Amino acid sequence: MPQRSLGRTGPRVSALGLGAMGMSDLYGPADEAESVATLHAAMDAGVTLIDTGDFYGMGHNELLIRDALRSSGRGRDEVAISVKFGALRDADGGWYGNDTRPEAVRNFLAYTLRRLGTDHVDIYRPARLDPAVPIEETVGAIAEQVKAGHVRHIGLSEVGAETLRRAHAVHPISDLQIEYSLISRGIEEEILPTARELGIGVTAYGVLSRGLISGHWSADRAIAPGDFRGISPRFGAGNVDANLALVEALRAVAEARGATVAQTAIAWVLAQGEDIVPLVGARRRERLTEALGALELTLTAEDLQAVEAAVPAGAAAGDRYIAAQMAHLDSEK
């Protein structure tokens, strides 16, 4: 398994990470036994970065990872666990903003450590910028947990260049977790150059745009209750057909290389720099196996040109989130 470093100060991890969110939340029902088997398969393949959030399934995702680690027989330090915190939810799965006050940092982390069955988190990050709390206060509170040994590295998620600079001035930031794919390239203008200037890595989520550009999605596919793609603009009527036309153009490029659409889309993100680690959200072993095949696909300069001709920057129809969620993204301001 190739390795990459998360910035100048972060850990060295596998070139592909596994995002575990869909095993507990937001994509409809998941098979828990298959989820654990997929986590085991990822670790067996050399994946050493697992990403979660304490609000994924209201703690269920962390418990799932705990159980998978225990049953894998691996030592705690063989896997880097990245945790997002701060999102406020209710028993019905509703969302009520974010809380990243220093008191909240200490509280959320205490519960995370207990659920994961560990004494430390490898990378800890607020899921979103809390407009009521200066980023300096949040990062300062996490830095106290670094000194205490409960956190190894500090990350951020979906913040803009200015916030990244302010946070990094308080404590070194290992990586920025942010959406980045062939059809979500907004970070290239300012955020990615700033991260590189500061020596901050990128963990890219949404590399397959929630399955839209995986090559497996169809316009007539039924979306299960509880699957947030049901309200996602890019999956909506009028947009999904346009976006799937891009996928078919990409399929022609992929097949010419003997690869799948998903592998080509992931390989494109991998090719954007050694400081970028794509997170794949595989919930089943077969999808994980396919994603891992991207590591064996080296795209030439000509291949990259063909990929970007098939899916030009800015060609996606629809925003990546609904308007209310876009308004909470510091990265979009």
Q: What is the pLDDT at residue 134?
A: 98
- Give residue 204's pLDDT: 98
- At 32 the pLDDT is 96
User: What is the homologous superfamily of the domain 3-211+269-297 according to CATH?
Assistant: NADP-dependent oxidoreductase domain (3.20.20.100)
The share of the chain scoring above pLDDT 70, in percent, equals: 100
Q: Which pair of structure tokens corresponds to residue 258?
A: 């003997």
Cβ neighbours for 44, distance < 8 A, ≥ 6 positions apart: none
Provide the annotated active-site residues: 56
For the chain, what is the mean pLDDT? 97
Read off the pTM.
Answer: 0.96
Does the structure show a pLDDT above 90 at 331? yes
Q: How does pLDDT run across 260-293, given as a tens digit for each residue?
A: 999 999 999 999 999 999 999 999 999 999 999 9
pLDDT, tens digit (0-9, with 9 covering 90-100), for 72-114: 999 999 999 999 999 999 999 999 999 999 999 999 999 999 9
User: What mean pLDDT comes out for the span 131-137?
Assistant: 98
What pLDDT, on a 0 to 100 scale, did the predictor assign at position 149?
98
**Whole-number Å distance between alpha carbons of 303 and 300:** 5
Q: Is the pLDDT of residue 308 over 90?
A: yes
Residues 6+ apart with CB under 8 A from 207: 180, 181, 265, 266, 269, 278, 279, 280
